[in-house]
A and B are shown apart, each in its own frame.
Chain A
Amino acid sequence: MKIKGFLKDVTGASRVTKARLNAFESASSAPEKTDPIAEVVKEWHPGKLDLVVKEVRDACKTAKTVRFARADGGKLPFFYAGQYIVLDFVIGDSVISRPYSISSAPFEARGEDPFVEITVRRSRGDGFIADYINDSVKVGDTFKGLMGCGQFYYEPLRDAKHVVALAGGVGITPFASMAKEVANGTLDMDLTILYGSVSSDDIVMKAELDAIQSDKVHIVHVLSGDEPDWQGEKGFLTADLIKKYSAEDTTYFICGPQAMYTFLRGELAKLNAPKRRVRFEVFGQAKDITTFPGYPLELKDKTFNLTVRRGVHEDVIPAKATESLVVALERAGIRIETGCRSGECGFCRTKVLKGSVYVCPENDGRRAADKDFNYVHACAAYPTSDVTIKIPIE
Chain B
Amino acid sequence: MKFYKDHYDVIVIGGALAGLSSALMLADKGKDVLVLERHNLPGGIASSFVRGGIEIEAALHEMMSIGEKDNRLKVGKFFDDMGVDIEWLKVPEAYHASLPGLEVTLHPGLSTFAKEIDAVVPGTYDKVLSLLNLCNTVFDSVNELSIHPMSKAKMLLKHEAFVKTAGYTTKEVIDSFDLPKKAQDLLAPYWIYVGSGFSDLPFTIYSVLMADYVGYGSFIPRKFSHEMSLKMAERAEAMGVQIEYRQHVEKILVKDGKAYGVRTARGDEIHADYVISSAYPNKVYTSMIEPASEVPAKAIKMVNGRRLSLTAFSVIMILDDTAENLGIKDYSVFKGDTMDTDLLYKDLAGLGPYRYLTCICHNLGNDTATPPGTCSYSITTLPQVKGWKTVKAEDYDRVKHEVAKQMIDDMSAYLGVNLLDHILEIVIETPMTVNRYTNAWNGCIYGYAHTMEDHIIARLQTAEEESFIKHLEFSGAHAISGDGMGPAVTNGRKAAKNVLDTMAAEEAAI
Contact = CB atoms under 8 A, between A and B. Distances in A.
Given A13-B166, A27-B304, A27-B305, A41 B172 contact: no
Nearest to A371: B223
A13 B461 contact: yes
Interface string A38-81: 11110111000000000000000000000000000000001000
Contacts of A151: 51-52
A41 B436 contact: yes
Interface stretch (A121-129, A204-212, A362-370): A362-370
A151 B306 CA distance: 38
B3 A393 contact: yes
Contacts of B1: 310, 313
Interface residues of A, number: 68
Contact of B455 (A19, A45, A311): A19
A112 B46 CA distance: 41
A148 B98 CA distance: 39
A45 B436 contact: yes
A276 B408 contact: no
Contacts of A21: 458, 462
A209 to B, nearest CB: 25
A199 to B, nearest CB: 34
Contact of B285 (A1, A31, A392, A394): A31
A20 B453 contact: yes
B282 interface: yes
A301 B1 CA distance: 32
B255 interface: no
A156 B165 CA distance: 50
A31 B302 CA distance: 10
A32 B304 contact: yes
Contact of B168 (A1, A12, A26, A156): A12
A28 interface: yes
A276 B48 contact: no
A393 B297 CA distance: 36
Nearest to B307: A23
Given A17-B462, A41-B432, A274-B320, A368 B163 contact: no
Interface in B148-179: 152, 156, 160-161, 163-168, 172-173, 176
Contact of A275 (B165, B247, B392, B424): B424
B365 interface: no
A20 B401 contact: no
A375 to B, nearest CB: 8
A26 to B, nearest CB: 7
Interface string A3-29: 110001111110111011111111111
A337 interface: yes
Contacts of A41: 432, 435-436
Given A37-B432, A155-B426, A23 B453 contact: yes
B168 A349 contact: no
Contacts of B508: none
B5 interface: yes
A259 interface: no
A158 B51 CA distance: 13
A346 interface: yes
Given A2-B164, A274-B320, A393-B266, A25 B301 contact: yes
A24 B302 contact: yes
Contacts of A33: 286-287
B423 A157 contact: yes
A312 B240 CA distance: 12
A369 B235 CA distance: 14
Contacts of A15: 167
A313 B391 CA distance: 44
B214 to A, nearest CB: 20
Contacts of B393: 39-40, 43-44, 78
A16 B462 CA distance: 11
B441 interface: yes
Contact of A4 (B3, B172, B286): B172
B226 A369 contact: yes
Contacts of A25: 301, 305
Nearest to B161: A1
A365 B56 CA distance: 12
A372 interface: yes
Contacts of B156: 10
Contact of A367 (B223, B458, B462): B223
A157 B420 contact: yes
A274 B285 CA distance: 53
B244 A368 contact: no
Interface in B429-454: 431-432, 435-436, 439, 441-443, 452-454
A9 B167 contact: yes
A92 to B, nearest CB: 18
Contact of A44 (B2, B431, B432): B432
B360 interface: no
A23 B454 contact: yes
Contacts of A38: 435, 439, 442-443
B231 interface: yes
Interface in A339-367: 344, 346-347, 349, 365-367
A11 B164 CA distance: 8
B247 A365 contact: no
Given A23-B453, A275-B424, A29 B297 contact: yes
Given A40-B393, A151-B51, A312 B3 contact: yes
Contacts of B223: 367-369, 372
A135 interface: no
B305 A13 contact: no
Interface string B379-423: 000000100111111101100010011001000000000001011
A45 B397 CA distance: 13
A72 B364 CA distance: 52
B224 interface: yes
B14 interface: no
A11 B459 CA distance: 16
Interface string A239-277: 000000000000000000000000000000000001110
B422 A12 contact: no
A145 B455 CA distance: 47
Interface string B40-52: 1100000011111
18 contacts: A28-B301, A31-B300, A33-B287, A37-B311, A37-B435, A40-B432, A44-B396, A78-B396, A311-B4, A312-B5, A313-B2, A346-B41, A349-B40, A367-B224, A368-B55, A369-B230, A370-B230, A373-B234
Given A31-B300, A78-B393, 6 more contacts: A13-B163, A38-B442, A44-B393, A44-B432, A110-B394, A313-B2
Q: Which 9 A-B pairs have the closest CB atoms?
A: A12-B167, A311-B3, A27-B305, A43-B393, A16-B455, A12-B166, A20-B458, A392-B246, A24-B305
Interface of A: 1-4, 8-13, 15-17, 19-33, 35-41, 43-45, 78, 110, 151, 155-158, 274-276, 310-313, 337, 344, 346-347, 349, 365-370, 372-373, 392-394
